[in-house]
Structure 1
Amino acid sequence: MGSRTAQILFPVNVPGAFDYAVPDPMRLSRGEFVFAPIGKQMKLGVVMSLGEAEPGRALKEIAEIKATRALPLAMLDFIDWVARYNVASPGQVLRMVLRSWKALDPSPVATLYEPTGDRPLNLTPARRAALSEGGPFPARASEIAARAGISPGVVKGLVKTGLMRSELRPVDAPYPVPNPDRAGRDLTEAQSVAARELVTQVQKDRFSVSLLDGVTGSGKTEVYFEAVAEALRQGRQVLILVPEIALTQAGLARFAQRFGAEPVAWHSSITDTERRRGWREVASGRAQLVVGARSALFLPFAKLGLIVVDEEHDTSFKQEEGVIYNARDMSVLRGRLEDRPVILASATPSLESLHNAQSGRYAHIVLPERPGAITLPDIDLIDMKVHKPETGAFLSAPMVQAVADSISRGEQSLLYMNRRGYAPLILCRACGERLKSPDTDSWLVEHRATGRAVCHLTGFSMRMPRECPKCGAEDGLTSIGPGVERIADEIQTHFPQTRVEILSSDTTATPDEIKARLGRMEQGEIDILVGTQMVVKGHNFPKLTFVGVVDGDLLMGGADPRAGERTYQTLVQVAGRAGRADKAGEALIQTHHPEHEALQALVAGDRDLFVGVEMAMREMLGLPPYGRIAAVILWGPDLKKVKDLAKDFVTKAPRADGVEILGPSEAPIARLRGLYRQRLFIRADPDVNLSKYMTTWRAKQKRIPTKYKIQIDIDPQSFM
């Protein structure tokens, strides 16, 4: 038997795996973690494949195998496919998988304390607080003490009295086991039929994709819960992807109610300890339910049984930095590699998913109505050319009257404005200067609540200046246009006695704050909620009967070929928040373009009309789902060099039938974080392997100047 080699992939930005010699008598398998030398360093990598050594080829040897669970073989294939499809470095994909290095080691241990159950009557206040307020148990003495407002010594003293026991245990305890047979809500006949279809797909125990297409409030979550229960009965793990952290929080509560155990939460705001515990428990197969944002797709499930992508149309599933990918599409890819079913759920499915369902590639499961007597809200348009707001105001008289009617009935209102802050533009009346971020062609947004001007692209922030930075005019700066803060101020002036709150990423910085605000809305403690995109998705507020869209035209502009689809989806979702309990709902949309086909279809309740028009346009232009698209952004600190790089890159494009290249041209955001940007747009026929084409093209550009980069986006969702 000849010498063996192993191809080791490291979690760094490299083109691929490196070859190493496997020393005798080391026994090695694919997916194992090993230490191997790179230069003068010893790094941890993963064995992607094994082979036979070429005679006479000198290779460095693997140093040792790390004593931990190997990555599943399907995960290795997933890493490779994600990299190839998205024209990305496989090392960067591996880095997304290895989000917690500490999870590769066993759980740390600590002395944990819990009550024995005895409760004598003559306890001191401190001891009583430890037992009644120190939970959840078991916990460290310091944790119990912090929660109860006492010293750790009190906790340790309770052990001596026999009121508490202590034990050296793993800190990262297993997650509670969900009960798939716990009773859920009663389903309607239509919901039961849909649930049986999804359960059947799970029982087939092979890859399939089902589009669960149901109007807002039709009970899609309760329906796919039945498929989740079936996968759990099979002893498999379930992943539910949601587009927002706020939905992750809501999902945890709903799952706990349905299955008697809260699932693993996975998103960018969890702590390192939670990340370590979650990753390890998922890899071991003990964590059976995971609800998370797009990054949860890269967890190393030991026995994955089902993937659910809730709100599958949502653009938040697209990662725009680092490895650029769409979690919805990669979920379908992972389901195929794992040979397991995938459910895509939405009230407004993407046109790509609808096309796949209509062509038979996906099963199409439809929930056409809300259960019982609950009806969809009445939707109407307010023509802003006719109903002009007062000078300096942004809410029309019909909008204000609708809110007043809702308040008089003791019900709640929601005003939707997808702009954070107070005003999206700060202008000097004296010289016309528009305040911009110093290194980005992006207007600064006034945040009156904090007294700052902020760039939402880069995070740049400064105190609101008192004078114009260009001409020096004092008190010459004025705020142009509305953000949620300005709308909240305006509605509060109309209704000073009402409880008005704002829900946006600026006003709710943590998951706990999001959860608290949503809880207040659900309990009826808020009269009028003013919110951005965060309010659109998946929330259920029983007393909410009126929804007002402040600017229905906001998504229609620009060069985005998906603008009509985005407009329709967003407005359907936000209008669908109204009337989800036993009270009828109403939605009003302010617009300067009431004739737009998306708005007309929305008012008529005729999705098929809109889809037909949009699909015909896409087919004529060869856009998805009737073609493939990619975008290339070239970045650099010198504008002339960026333009030259873009022109040179175009000359290296491979010749191929069915491929059209548009550009280069200046990107809509021409300068970002001090770097200039040029953009290319590539359209290809559906039978073209666009990922392979772009990989071949990128490989021809051998040298790129330092500080310059070429970024490739397959199936772009943003055109900035």
Structure 2
Amino acid sequence: METAPVTVPVLLPLALPAPYDYLVPDGARVEPGQFVVVPLGPVHYIAAVWRRPEGEEPPKIARKKLREIVEILDDVPKLPTVSLDFADWVSNYTLTSPGMVLRMMMSARSAFEPPAPRYGVRLSGPPPERMTPARARVLEAAKNGLSWVKSSLAEAAGVSPSVIDGLVDAGTLVAEPLPDWHAMPLDLARKRATLNPEQTEAATELLKHTGGGFAVSLLDGVTGSGKTEVYFEAIAQCLERGQQALVLLPEIALTGQFLARCEERFGARPAEWHSGVSPSMRGRVWRAVAENKAKLVAGARSALFLPFPDLGLIVVDEEHDQAYKQEDRVAYQARDMAVVRGHLGHCPVVLSSATPSIESLVNADQGRYRHIRLGTRYKAASLPAIQTVDMRKNPPERRHWLSPVLIEEMAATLERGEQVLLFLNRRGYAPVTLCRKCGFRFECPNCSAWLVEHRFRHRLECHHCGKFMPIPHECPSCGAEESLVACGPGVERIAEEVAEHFPEARRVLLSSDLTPSISELRETLREIEEREVDIIIGTQLVAKGHHFPGLALVGVVDADLGLAQGDPRAAERTFQLLSQVTGRAGRDAIKGRGLIQTYMPEHPVIAALVAGDRDTFLDREIAARRDAGLPPFGRLAAILVTAGSREAAEAYAREVARAAPEAEKIQVLGPAEAPLSVIRGRYRFRLLVKATREADLQTYLRVWLAQAPKAKGDIRLTVDIDPYSFL
């Protein structure tokens, strides 16, 4: 009698609805979380052995109909049980296939390949005959005598890798093999920063709730209050227990300063995880995390999906930041998923911000989170004085964008030897370019958006699909020469105006599209910190938690830019952004000041910033959300229908809407054409689902979409639970 075949469910990193069953090779044994190679059609995939739902029996399938596991990857660390739990939870909550969540957990391809040999450099020989400032910084960074990865040493010293190569050629640095995972040991006995009484009290309170077991603490402190040093105490406590700690950061630009502060506090840098890390290093970090060798990890939102076997603390820095929301493939909010990961893994979570999200504040008010406040700046530094510049009364010169009031204050600040920051949250030179003869405007051929002029790169570019073209010499519509004019300002245009007013000042422009590499961005930030720059002009990149000791004045060029949006979070986001950017000023001994150019000084957001009255503004926003049943007092889900033709997208969206079941606590709005009606050549229609807090939104959506007509041809339907973008 033939014995029943031994099968296991295997989850492939593909958009499939469930795991598939595969035959286990004779004599082999596999466990959930183990990586294997399996066939699907003619292709072999690396996949993960999964678990059957509790009580479910293996399917009775004849052996000849089963396909067998090709290879068991015994040398690859398996996913811990909590990672399987987390993947299933995220899949169920976001209504995406579990395979796509697994794909995020397997995002380091080189982790599944034999590691290639690595070489590092170590200080060994005499100083070079020719010494430069860059070489001196390398020698200072390498003086501990430990081996460094070349790229890490270059970054730590703020130099290019060629400087390292030159020192190797000179015999000052010697190259030597490195182990598979190379990290300097953390020094937990290292002297910590001296905390002031308020910080000490906050740290004591925080440690009560991060000593083990799940708890969420909201660390709410004004800009420059020393929140990082406070949660460093919780990290030290976690590491002393021998567990792993994860710090999530919203932007790659932040990791440079954070790594340096970690090194100062713990004697070594944490492992990094973000898009700027090389593929080979991502594989090594992935393995080091899975093998419990990487004890401290700093990374972007995707670091949450690393296979931590013993995670003892999660810190979400700048927890309010919109960058924590991922909108493509698996749509998730990393701050919220960090809380879920902490709950599943029984580990504490710290949410840190100077401008906490309304969701986190309401959770704290309702007792779900512990609320820990820091109300004063470190070393008794004062908060910047904020004033408005009413652009109706103090307009700039024609075809200029800086008010005389702001220019005068900039001149006085520079005269004192202090730094100035100008903020405008708009990349490029101008948002629109048109022909003054015929009125023609350059529109993206793939999107319902204007092409943005990037004069420094001599091209027009779409910020949605990436389409670009050289700036022409004549109008493509009427053929007129020298007729094209830029309308409105971007940061490049502001930089041009600053150069006109202050030609002798040392200037730098910080914008994501003008920064070619992370190392160059971090070098620019170092130059600002060391006062090698007088005027910084930047987009929201400059608002992200940087510490610029010499910065005295922040000028907001257009404070009204984020307020005119059909977005329930527009006022909250604008308040957070302007609070953060003005909070860069006066963080050390220098007295700080913020000047906000606006045509609406009476707007509640602007008035609250000037008055320094955050609580009144937030109370008003919270009350408005409560009255409207919007998050966090209600729930939202967005359904986006896209197609190659407008007619197909609209017709299918209406069919989907008609299939929506009646529900007492759930309302379906739309479909309506999206504000950005075309992106990358695809037409877009949106439906918004609004539900009460207690409604089972996921079950409702599953039932609805199961009975809705299936999308055909090039029509696509995507679901975003808890949407953050309404474009």
Q: TM-score range by the shorter chain?
A: over 0.9
Asked if 1:78 corresponds to 2:86, the answer is yes
1:190 and 2:192 correspond: no
Provide the residue aligned with 1:670 in structure 2. Answer: 677
Q: Does 1:330 align with 2:337?
A: yes
- What does residue 125 of structure 1 align with? none
For 1:336-395, what per-residue CA distance to the aligned partner results, in whole angstroms no more than 9, with x for missing partners? 111100100001101000000000000100111113331111101111111111111111
Counterpart residue number, 2:132: none
* Residue-by-residue CA offset, 1:512-554 (whole Å, 9 max, x unaligned): 1111111111111111100100000111111101000000000
Q: Which amino acid aligns with 1:71?
A: L
1:340 maps onto 2:342 in alignment:
no
* Alignment map for 1:102-113 (pairs within 5 Å): 102-109=110-117
C-alpha displacement of 1:412: 0.5
The whole-number CA distance in structure 2 between the counterparts of 1:110 and 1:619 is 56
1:360 lines up with 2:367 in the alignment = yes
CA distance in 2, matches of 1:694, 1:400: 54
Which of residues 639, 644, 651 is equivalent to 1:644?
A: 651
Matches within 5 A, 1:555-594: 555-594=562-601
Distance 2:252 2:128 in 1: 44
Counterparts of 1:373 and 1:308, CA distance in 2: 26
Match of 1:13 in 2: 15
Equivalent-residue separation in structure 2 for 1:219 and 1:151 (angstroms): 39
**Matched residue, 2:559:** 552
Which piece of structure 1 moves more, 217-226 or 686-695?
686-695
Find the residue that maps to 1:49 and give its secondary structure: coil
2:58 aligned partner: 53
2:712 pairs, out of 693, 702, 705, with 705
How large is the Cα RMSD of the aligned pairs?
2.8
Whole-angstrom CA distance in 2 between matches of 1:230 and 1:355: 28
2:219 maps to 1:212? yes
Q: Are 1:98 and 2:93 an aligned pair?
A: no
In 1, the alpha carbon distance for the partners of 2:547 and 2:93 equals: 37
Which of these residues, 27, 30, 39, is aligned with residue 29 of structure 2?
A: 27
Distance in 2 separating the partners of 1:677 and 1:498: 46
| Matching residue's letter, 1:444 | L
| Aligned pair partner of 1:245 in 249, 252, 269 | 252
Find the residue that maps to 1:372 and give its secondary structure: helix
Distance 2:299 2:175 in 1: 35
Matched, 1:268 2:275: yes
Is the counterpart of residue 461 in structure 1 residue 457 in structure 2?
A: no
Residue of structure 2 in register with 1:413 after alignment: 420
Query: Helix, strand or coil: the match of 2:386?
Result: strand
Shift in Å, 1:718: 1.2
Residues 272 and 110 of structure 1: is their aligned pair in 2 closer, same or farther, counting only changes over 3 Å? Answer: closer
* 3-state SS of paired residue (2:185): coil
Q: Indicate whether 1:292 and 2:299 are aligned.
A: yes
Go from structure 1 to structure 2 and tell me whether the alpha carbon gap of 1:150 and 1:238 turns closer, same or farther (over 3 Å shift).
Answer: closer
Residue 434 of structure 1 corresponds to 441
Q: TM-score, normalised by structure 1?
A: 0.93
CA contact (8 A) 2:168 2:175 kept: no
Tell me if the contact between 1:174 and 1:287 (Cα under 8 Å) persists in the aligned partners.
Answer: no
Match of 1:126 in 2: none
C-alpha deviations, 1:638-690, integer Å up to 9, x for none? 11011001001111223222111111111011011011111111111000122
Would the aligned equivalents of 2:244 and 2:294 in 1 still touch at CA under 8 Å? yes
C-alpha displacement of 1:693 = 2.3
Offset at 1:171?
5.1
Counterpart of 2:388, as a letter, is: L
Q: What is the identity, as a one-letter code, of the residue corresponding to 2:710? A: R
Contact 2:674 2:684 in 1 (8 A): yes
Match of 1:634 in 2: 641
Is the Cα–Cα contact under 8 Å of residues 656 and 709 in structure 2 kept in the other structure?
no
Q: Secondary structure at the match of 1:313?
A: coil
2:16 aligned partner, one-letter code: V
Give the distance between the partners of 1:47 and 1:23, measured in 2 at CA.
14
Could you tell me which amino acid in structure 1 is paired with residue 11 of structure 2?
Answer: L
1:128-147 correspondence to structure 2 within 5 Å: 147=164
Shift of 1:509: 2.1
Q: Which runs of 5+ in 1 are unaligned?
A: 123-128
CA–CA distance in structure 2, aligned partners of residues 450 and 489 of structure 1: 14
Give SS of 1:381's match.
Answer: strand
Counterpart Cα distance in 1 of 2:180 and 2:88: 31
How is 1:366-405 mapped onto 2 (pairs within 5 angstroms)? 366-405=373-412
Match of 1:618 in 2: 625
Aligned mates of 1:283, 1:442 — CA distance in 2: 44
Contact 2:671–2:686 at 8 Å: present in 1 too? Answer: yes
Letter of the 1:89 partner, please give it: S
The structural deviation recorded for 1:146 is 8.9
Counterpart CA distance in 2 for 1:591 and 1:134 is 45
Q: CA deviation at 1:202?
A: 2.0
Aligned twin of 1:180: 188
Query: Does the 8 Å contact 1:3/1:53 carry over to 2?
Result: no
Within a 5 Å distance, the mapping from 1:149-188 to structure 2 comes to: 149=166, 172-188=180-196
SS of aligned partner of 1:81: helix
Counterpart of 2:719 in 1: which secondary structure? strand
Give the whole-Å Cα distance in 2 for the aligned partners of 1:253 and 1:373.
23
Q: Deviations over 1:160-195 (max 9, x none)?
A: xxx9897xx565333112122211211011111111
Structure 1 residues 20 and 563, CA gap change in structure 2 (3 angstroms): same
Using a 3 Å threshold, how does the CA distance of structure 1 residues 111 and 712 change in structure 2: closer, same or farther?
Answer: closer
Shift of 1:56: 5.0
1: CA distance, partners of 2:467 / 2:283: 32
Between the aligned residues of both structures, percent identity stands at 46
Q: 2 CA distance for matches of 1:231 and 1:134?
A: 27
The residue correspondences of 1:459-498 to structure 2 (distance < 5 A) are 459-498=466-505
CA deviation digits over 1:58-108, x for unaligned, max 9? 433323311121100000111111111111121111111111222134533
Of 435-444 and 173-182, deviating more is: 173-182
Q: 2:673 & 2:692 partners in 1: Cα distance?
A: 25
Out of 27-36 and 577-586, give the one that drifted further: 27-36
The change in CA–CA distance for 1:110 and 1:363 in structure 2 (over 3 A counts) is closer
Structure 1 residues 394, 118: CA separation in 2 closer, same or farther (over 3 Å shift)? closer
Q: What displacement does 1:55 show?
A: 3.7
Q: TM-score, normalised to structure 2's length?
A: 0.92
